[in-house]
Structures are given as C-alpha cells and as structure tokens.
Chains A and B, each alone.
Chain A
C-alpha cells in the first residue's frame, strides 16, 4: 500500500479526486471526508497495493500531479511495532526462533536451554554420527516421585527439511516459556516426560548448509568414498529393504547396507528400545506436504489400534486447521502417500509404541523445502 500526497489545483481536479475516492473506496487520511477536499489544500490518500497502478494512471490522465508520501505502508507499520523482547530469563537472550539456525547455533542453544531451565531440562548424550559428531536430546521433566510416561519427538532426519529442526526448537521454547503460566502444560508435565531430539541427521544438516541445500541422506561413505549417504528413514528395522527403497547408494532412498547400518539409526534405536515400555507416543517431524501419517508404509494392512490412531490424528489436524486454516491430510502412509519400508515411524509402532506418527509440515509444494522464514512462526504455532 502507498500513501500519496496531492494538491489539487482546479475544481475539475477536485471533482475527479472526490469521484476517485468514493468509487474506489480509497482511504482518505487527510482530509477525512471527500467533501472536504479543496483546491490548494493538501490531500493524503492511502491506496491499497492492487490499486496503486490504476490510481496513478488515472491521476496522470487527468494531469494531477502527486508525490509518494509513503512508498510502503506495511514496512512502516512493522518498524513501529515494539520488538518482542525476550524478557524471559529462561529463554536464551536474543535466540531467534523465526529464522533457520545453523547446527553450531543449535548446539549452543541446547546447552543454554539446559543451563537456564535446569529444574526442567536436562541434555543427554544419544550417540555419535558417522562423521563423529555428538547427538544430544533434551529431556523436559517435572521433578516428581512417580514414574512418568514418555513422548518422544525427533526432527531433522532428512537434511533439507529445515522447518523440522526449527519446529523442535520452537516446541521446546513454547513449553518452557509458558510452563509457569499455562495450566495445560503443567498438567501435561505432571504425567509425561518429553524427549526432544532437535536434529537427528546432524552431518546431513550441516552438509545442506555448507554444500548442497537439497541434500537428504546422512553422510556415510560407500563404494570407496565415491558415493555418500543412506536415507535414515529407510534404515530402520521395519520390513527393511522390502518396498519403496533402492539398494543403490546413488539413490536418495538408499536403505543402507543393512537394517540399522547407520550409527544415527542405532543411537535412536538403542535409547527407544531401552525405554519402550514407558514410551506412549513417537513423533517424527518432516517436511513438506502437510500430512499426519500413521503406520504403515510397508503394507496397507492397518495397525491393530488403527481406529484410535486415526481418531487422535484427525483431532490434531482439526486443531491445527483451527489456527490459520492450514489443512493437513491424515492417513496411513501406504494409502495416502507412497509405499516405503524401514521408516522410523513403522519401527516404533512395531516394537510396541502405541501412538506413532510422521508429521509432514508446510507447505504443499509452492516452496517445498525452501519454506520462507516468515512461515516458521505460523507453521510452528499451528503445529503446536
């Protein structure tokens, strides 16, 4: 939108301007009413963006000269809004959750988060990546004498899906920031522990920042270092290697040399196996597509608790849509997406975790993996 400054000179010009204002419903800033437009007096009108060219053309046609007082109204509005100060002691000062953060930033953030929220958060060692980087997860746990069930969430299993780790960071921030003031969160944490793995495929994530933005797999070397990467989401021991995979390293869906061949996979498996009797829900976050996917990918045979799985997912999708109108499709991977085997979601369900879901976040292909940072906040808010 623009604001134009005009000083009409003749009665004809005044009449034309009055006509323009009322027919195009332009926003008169000065004077307030069309009838108060006078020759020789200042006129300020705000013209909505889609009409700017048309209005200017009309002014030109009638030989009415104008100046652009404000070239971009939105910009001014944004600038005049007070910056959201992270006045919360608990959240690292100045950490930006509405941009994509590098792995180095994420490592620092995890350490900081634990330090400033030590009553609730502990950082745990999970394992090492193939390039020997350390994998950490955050445990959010309210101190209590009773044993609690666990909800596990991992992000960033596929390197190029940057909105996914962004969501994990956002999620942690939301929980911690609102814990004191939100009774729902307190109730949640009374009976549940949250285990969050912000970046599963650390090597891949870094590679997508430094070398190839659209990289997907991890960075394990094959064929004497002439080919790299296993698709970690085809590497789990759930009908491994049976469908929707490639046995060729050069493929993006290469399932690895065997189930759990990758250290990243093994690190996750070890921890989840150990705690599986307490894990209620397994969530793995991807992009894009806007889906909530239930098991299985390797077969169309429904899981034993399919009705309940679907019901919960549908409630989630409805709640999500309630926020910004974003629509998510819900269903089993093999039915609504495509067949694949060796996924972490399938594996989690097969070892007995009752609620296991893959989230595919925004969008539906317009930007795909390159989701603009302005969409980080709304995506995370609605998914929350």
Chain B
C-alpha cells in the first residue's frame, strides 16, 4: 500500500505563516456568506425603518372648507372624545417621559388638563374643565380619553389615561361629568399591575374599558431597546371591576383603540404596519381578528363618526417627524386625517371593503402632528401631541 506522503513545511517556516494548505477553504466561504447575509439583514432593517418612519414621503396639503385654530389650546390636544350631541372632551398637556422620548424643555410648563369644545357653538373657545377631588392634580398628565354615555343620555363617564410622573406609573382616572356645572367629579383611580405604558382607552361601560399598552418598559433604557429593536412587548387589556384581562398580546407600538357604536367591533391603530385592525368582540370581551385595513400611512387614533358609522383615523404620514417635533417644538410634523367609509350597504359587511377618503392633509403649517380627530356633522376637530388644535368646516 502506497502511503501518500506530503512533506509538510519542508523549509521549516513558522507555522502561522504557512499558506492555505492549512486553512480549509470551507470556512472562508462560510464567513463570507455570513457577512453577506449580515449585510442583507442590516440593509433590510434600514430600508424598512426608512419606509416605516416615512423618510421618503412627501405630504401634499389640502383641506376642504375653512380651517382655523381653536383657542386657547396651545400645549397639545393629544386625544379627543365626543358625546352623541357634540360635546368634545380634549386632553391637553401630555408628558412623554415614561417612554423616554426626548422632549423640548418647554414641555415642563405643560399643565395636564381636560378641555371642552362644543360643536354646537364652534365660535366659542374651548373651556378648561374644573376637576374636583382628583388626587395629586399637579401630577395629572393625560393622554387617551373615552366617554361612556348612559343610554338615557343622562350620565356621562369620562375615562382618562394618566401618566403619573411622581409615582412613575400609569393609571386610569374615571370622572363623572356634570352637564349643568361643567365640572368633572373624580370618582376612581384604576391601578393594575398590567398597566405598563398606557396609550389610548375605549370605554365599554361607565367604569369598564379596553386600554392599550404601547410598550412594556417605562423609565428605563430598555424602552429604547424595545423601540428600535421592534420588540412586540405591548398589548391590549380589558378592565372590569379592577380585573384586567389581556385580550391581545405581542403588539408593537399599538396606539389608538375605539369601539363601534353597537359595541360589536373594536378598532386598533397599528402605526408600524401602517394598517388598522378590526376585531369582533366576544361576549367575554375577548377579541378575534376580523379584518386588517391597509392605510398606507401610520395611524395614531381612531374615532367613530356617529351619524354614519365611518371611522375617522388621524395619522402621522411621516412618522419620524413626530419624535423630531416633540423634541423641538419649532420643527413641525405633517398631519393627515382619513375617513374610512364602507363600500357596502350591508351592515355586516361594513368593515370588509372600505374606501379611504383623505379629509385633511397638512405639511405642518396649520397643525403639527395630528394625533386625534373627531367629526360631528359637517365639522372636523383635529388635535395634536404638543401643538395647536384646529377646527375645520368641511362644507366649504
């Protein structure tokens, strides 16, 4: 048997300088392939971030009818909820420290309050509502708001998400609204271990509600990891008598939530996917996905136009501008309000096929970052995260 002799390193050269005979060709190929795949993954992440955050987007302003500012709102109007007879409750003076969103220093002067705008008297300014018996009123930093009207039209419950800074926790405050004195009487503070980073709220009863967690970590650098790593650690809860049920899990940055007038459907805004999710609501308040409506833009809040059942969706067409304009109020963010109207007259098919009407689009000149919008009759009220509030007469 002839052995194959290969005289290795005949000249006695130091081992580490000896050429490719000692390296297997497989490992360099493998390394290159891994690097290539790594580059592709990074490229795909960068491109999807660019598209999701809207760097490529141009916004073309238009608005039908006449639009004007609503005084005295200047420090944000993040969310608006409206009664069936045209009373709009507006949360103002938001603070976003819990999400570690860098904010303009002027945000420290923001005073958390709730304003009332009456669509029946649009020429009047919005009125700052007096809140009675609210504990730690100076620490009130509201965001999402929802209204529950008793069927007989008498009692109005106002439910508000509150980002308490001193306690470093999010709570839900429940008020009772007195129509005659225009005063909000604080009834209850809802605290729950599942309340992490609350965003929006949708009332299902005088003190029961759906609420969204737009993330998990608060007041922690882990929130930055969560945001940029796109980890879906948010969720949606239903709360009834202090019992919280997780109805949707593994959500990334979900924000606006709304209930249809008949209570059968729940709508959720998904800015990351640039779509709106429609869920059917079970007897036990559990949610099953019914339809996903592609919007082509990042939605923030959803409200219902009670006269038609249409969905009014306020959006951030250039998502990255939101962060930019919160960190510097001088930078203006683009705004957009869409109306989703049904293609079908059949009420069971109403959310299956929809037409998307763009009611309002602005490049930031009139209003910066539209975070909420409500429609009443032929009028539109648009709120922003930290900027003004605009009223538009859609009749033109």
Question: Are A and B associated in one complex?
Answer: no
